[in-house]
Amino acid sequence: MRLVIDYRKCLKSGQCSYLHAELITADPDGTPRVIAERLGEDLRAAAEDAVDLCPSGAISLTEE
């Protein structure tokens, strides 16, 4: 499972890194960065919440 950020959609609003710092950090200019390449099942609920909270639909979860 992976989190993917579509930088064409991202508004750099910061909700994802603020509310899910265990998954996403942010560069000084606000660009979010996914911390872990692969996520374990223990982080699924948090990852799904990050997808839901993004105001621009820039975050998606893939099962690959």
DSSP classification of residue 62 = E
| φ/ψ bin of 14: left (φ > 0), alpha (ψ from -120 to 50), beta (otherwise) | left
Which one of 4, 21, 33, 56 is in contact with ligand SF4 (CB under 6 A)? 56
The mark string for 2-41 relative to ligand SF4 (x by CB under 6 A, - otherwise) is ---x----xxxxxxx---------------x---------
Report the DSSP pairing between strands 59-62 and 32-34.
Answer: unpaired
- Least distance (Å) between residue 57 CB and ligand SF4: 8
- Give how many residues touch ligand SF4 by CB under 6 A: 14
Residue 62 in tokens: 């893939």
